[in-house]
Amino acid sequence: MTQKELGYVELEWTCPVCKTRNPGTQSTCSGCGAAQPENVTFETPVQADLSEDKEKVERAKAGPDIHCAFCGARNPSTAKVCRQCGADLTQGKARESGSVVGAYAPNTGAMVRCASCGMENPAAARQCVRCGAPLGKDVVTPPPAATPQPMPASGGRMGMIIFAVVAVLILIGAGWFLTSLFRTSATTASVVDARWERSIAIMGPVPVRANGWRDEVPAGAAQLSCRQEVRSTSDSPQPGAREVCGTPYTLDTGTGMGRVVQDCEYEIYDDYCSYMTTQWGIVDTVVRRGVGLAPEWPGATLASGQELGERNERYVCVVAVDGKQYDFPLRTVDAYEQCEPGSQWSISINGLGDVVEAKRVE
């Protein structure tokens, strides 16, 4: 983060006697004439333009004021002797400085209402122009726009009833499904068909879209298209970087003036690109299907740079009993060879008509 100086603004102090707000650099109250207290607290004004008073700004830049070690009077940091008692100020104590006083609010022409007479005064004013009463800091804001009310939820009860009915139906359905699933019947069936399917994946370079910073893009990448994106941020200004700053705030300079700063960082842009490249993957899958007990692998013609990949085999035995056909998978080619036409199998069938167990009996 870089702290950027926007300028200086005159702070305020509130008179403990009459509550009048006074300009930070003023040493006596404009309401009652009381002296600025030694342990004065400076506050940010409601709204204020940056100061154009060269003298005050120079004093703020010179350093925090010095309190005389003998009489306590505040003197500019540039003074050598106390303006009140003439004492040597090298023994004096510099005011605290550097703390954050608050957010800086530029003058937008907002108004402040007088608590005594109701008159609206510019936010920069400290006393009412009509009655002279000290002004507070409550900026008059227009009444907030009416927020749209959400539509009242309608049919809430109807929705509950439908929900309950649907829930009951789902429960009944699930119950029926589970009962069917676990109710099995055993029977003996004879093989009428044997089907197989074998496949081999063909591996090779597959075109894929990829993204990356321009210096990461492989040479010769196709269909390159780029746009500017933030790649990194820096604390200090960089050529071509975009400055991003936070809300301005005010620091106490110990002189009644505030130093208005904002923290900034610098976004460094670069080309972020989309391009086509290749990735090792499945280019194609060759499949061969057939019936009978002599399954074969499909033939594959490989282009240059391609290789054979994963092999898959599926075997299905089809049996018939009482004029109905059932089928079930067999995991290995050895098991499949048992699926000879006419052979007898003991099968268990669940309520959904699926074969859950099969075993050759002869």
Closer residue to Zn ion (CB): 63 or 72: 72
Beta strands in the chain (DSSP E): 2-10, 12-14, 21-23, 66-67, 74-75, 93-94, 100-103, 111-113, 120-122, 139-140, 184-213, 222-234, 242-245, 249-252, 257-291, 307-321, 324-330, 344-350, 355-360
Closer residue to Zn ion (CB): 13 or 249: 13
Measured at the CA of 223, the angle between CA 220 and CA 228, to 5 degrees, comes to 95
Closer residue to Zn ion (CB): 76 or 204: 76
Closer residue to Zn ion (CB): 34 or 221: 34
CB of 125 to Zn ion, least distance (A): 10
CB of 86 to Zn ion, least distance (A): 7
Measured at the CA of 243, the angle between CA 237 and CA 246, to 5 degrees, comes to 115
CB of 241 to Zn ion, least distance (A): 50
Measured from the Cβ of residue 110, the count of other Cβ atoms closer than 10 Å reads 15
Does position 245 bind Zn ion by CB under 5 A? no
d(CA 291, CA 316): 9
Site for Zn ion, residues 47 to 86, rule: CB under 5 A: 68, 70-71, 73, 82, 84-85
What type of residue is 124? A
Query: Which one, of 248, 218, 344, 221, lies nearest residue 9 by Cα?
Result: 248
CB of 256 to Zn ion, least distance (A): 16
Site for Zn ion, residues 95 to 154, rule: CB under 5 A: 114, 116-117, 119, 128, 130-131, 133
Closer residue to Zn ion (CB): 126 or 259: 126
d(CA 172, CA 165): 11
Closer residue to Zn ion (CB): 92 or 248: 92
Size of the site for Zn ion (CB under 5 A): 24
d(CA 300, CA 198): 12
d(CA 288, CA 128): 96
Closer residue to Zn ion (CB): 116 or 344: 116
Site for Zn ion, residues 14 to 43, rule: CB under 5 A: 15, 17-18, 20, 29, 31-32, 34
CB of 106 to Zn ion, least distance (A): 25
Closer residue to Zn ion (CB): 123 or 191: 123
Closer residue to Zn ion (CB): 128 or 200: 128
CB of 10 to Zn ion, least distance (A): 18
From the list 62, 79, 81, 87, which residue makes contact with Zn ion (rule: CB under 5 A)?
A: 87
CB of 8 to Zn ion, least distance (A): 25
CB of 98 to Zn ion, least distance (A): 25
Closer residue to Zn ion (CB): 51 or 121: 121
Reduced to 3 states, what is the DSSP secondary structure of residue 142? coil
73 contacts 82 by C-beta, under 8 angstroms: yes
Residue 98 burial (10 A CB sphere; 0-12, 13-18, 19+):
exposed
Measured at the CA of 315, the angle between CA 309 and CA 317, to 5 degrees, comes to 175
CB of 9 to Zn ion, least distance (A): 22
Q: Which residues contact 61 (CB under 8 A, 6 or more apart)?
A: 8, 253
CB of 254 to Zn ion, least distance (A): 17
Site string for Zn ion, 254-273 (x = CB under 5 A): --------------------
Structure tokens at 295: 């399954």
Binding interface with Zn ion (CB under 5 A): 15, 17-18, 20, 29, 31-32, 34, 68, 70-71, 73, 82, 84-85, 87, 114, 116-117, 119, 128, 130-131, 133
